[in-house]
Amino acid sequence: MTATLLDGKATAAEIKDELRARVKALAERGITPGLGTVLVGSDPGSQAYVNGKHRDCAEVGIASIRRELPDDATQEQVEEVLAELNADPACHGYIVQLPLPGHLDTQRVLELIDPAKDADGLHPVNLGRLVLGYPGPLPCTPRGIVELLRRYDVPLRGATVAVVGRGNTVGRPLGLLLTRRSENATVTLCHTGTLDLAAHTRAADIVIVAAGVPGLLTADMIRPGAVVVDVGITRVIGPDGKGRYTGDVDSGVVEVAGALVPMPGGVGPMTRAMLLTNVVERAEQG
């Protein structure tokens, strides 16, 4: 058996079409949603991601507000930019591209984002709301995964899900999202320190891997027919000496899984679509 591929790119395109209509409705109320990005330093990967976000914005009619600071920007300079975006009524939501250069205090920076403008859904107040089941902006990658599974009619209610990875941006909030009453999945949150990881993944209907360890999930670790979601994105040097991105799911898994969310073309485009969704929602609630 070969797994059905769940197409994140096509689904993200569908979501962008829906957002275009919502942006049009906002325009009739005189509102143009605006997404801000704060990029500190010249890391080419981060620059490419931020450029992608602005391309996405242009496609759906969201205004782009770009702020760029040099590699040696001070904590005060970064904080000034955040204060400016917090006060700017044209900016409905914004993100600080991570990782920040090592000399900056990331936690302090993220806590200075106005939680009402937190397009990433990663502010402690919003993660706290997620824990408590209160409404608020949701983290983009977990939300994108749940949305993709929903649109492919993968049942979550009553399903057993193994999440591998407990990071603050994916694994941990994903466990919270999947166990909300509205999703009602049963989640085992595993990580690289889990003893007999395969016992947990083999017991699951859905395995979501967000550990950042290339090839971590192999075919022998899943139940035949399981749904597998590859969230890993690690830069590796290929045999040809060129850099490329690779996921956490080994290539043999496609022969055993029932469905696979691949990398690329899966979770990444959905993450970007959810960022746009969060901004449009912020503007609608304006």
Considering the candidates 7, 56, 118, 120, report the single residue annotated as catalytic: 120
Contact segment (CB under 6 A) with ligand GUE among 63-71, 123-131, 200-208, 257-265 equals: 257-265
Tell me: is residue 167 an annotated ligand-binding position. Answer: yes
The active-site residue out of 53, 56, 205, 230 is: 53
| Contact of 149 with 267, CB cutoff 8 Å | no
* Shortest-Cβ-distance residue relative to ligand GUE: 268
Site residue total, ligand GUE (CB under 6 A): 16
Options 97, 205, 230, 248, the catalytic residue: 97
Count the residues in the chain.
286
Candidates 94-102, 160-168, 205-213, 214-222 — which segment interacts with ligand GUE by CB under 6 A?
Answer: 94-102
Residues 111-140, interacting with ligand GUE (CB under 6 A): 120, 140
**Binding of ligand GUE by 50 (CB under 6 A):** no
Does position 272 interact with ligand GUE (CB under 6 A)? The reply is yes
Nearest distance from C-beta of residue 28 to ligand GUE, angstroms: 30
Does residue 53 carry a catalytic annotation? yes
Nearest to ligand GUE of 120, 205 (CB atom): 120
206, 210, 212, 214 alpha-carbon torsion, rounded to 10°: 20
From the list 52, 128, 225, 243, which residue makes contact with ligand GUE (rule: CB under 6 A)?
Answer: 52
Among 19, 35, 63, 95, binds ligand GUE (CB under 6 A): 95
Determine phi and psi for 2, rounding to 5 degrees: -115, 135
Binding flag, residue 98, ligand GUE (CB under 6 A): yes
What is the residue-wise DSSP string for the chain?
Answer: --PEEP-HHHHHHHHHHHHHHHHHHHHHTT---EEEEEEES--HHHHHHHHHHHHHHHHHTPEEEEEEE-TT--HHHHHHHHHHHHH-TT-SEEEE-SSPPTTS-HHHHHHHS-GGGBTTS-SHHHHHHHHHT---PPPHHHHHHHHHHHHTT---TT-EEEEE---TTTHHHHHHHHTSTTT--EEEEE-TT-TTHHHHHHT-SEEEE-S--TT-B-GGGS-TT-EEEE---EEEE-TTS-EEEE-SB-GGGGGT-SEEE-SSSSHHHHHHHHHHHHHHHHHHH-
Given the complex with ligand GUE, which of 78 and 159 has the nearer CB atom?
A: 78
Is residue 97 flagged as an active site residue?
yes
Check the annotation: does 233 bind a ligand.
yes
278 near ligand GUE (CB under 6 A): no
The stretch among 180-188, 194-202, 205-213, 263-271 that binds ligand GUE (CB under 6 A) is: 263-271
**Ramachandran area for residue 175 (φ above 0: left; ψ -120 to 50: alpha; else beta):** alpha
Q: Does 96 bind ligand GUE (CB under 6 A)?
A: yes
The answer for residues whose C-beta is within 8 angstroms of residue 182's C-beta and 6 or more apart is: none
Interface with ligand GUE, residue 5, by CB under 6 A: no
Q: Which residues bind ligand GUE (CB under 6 A)?
A: 49, 52, 95-98, 120, 140, 233, 263-265, 268-269, 271-272
Catalytic positions: 53, 97, 120
Binding site for NADP(+), by residue number, is 165-167, 233
Binding site, by residue number, is 165-167, 233
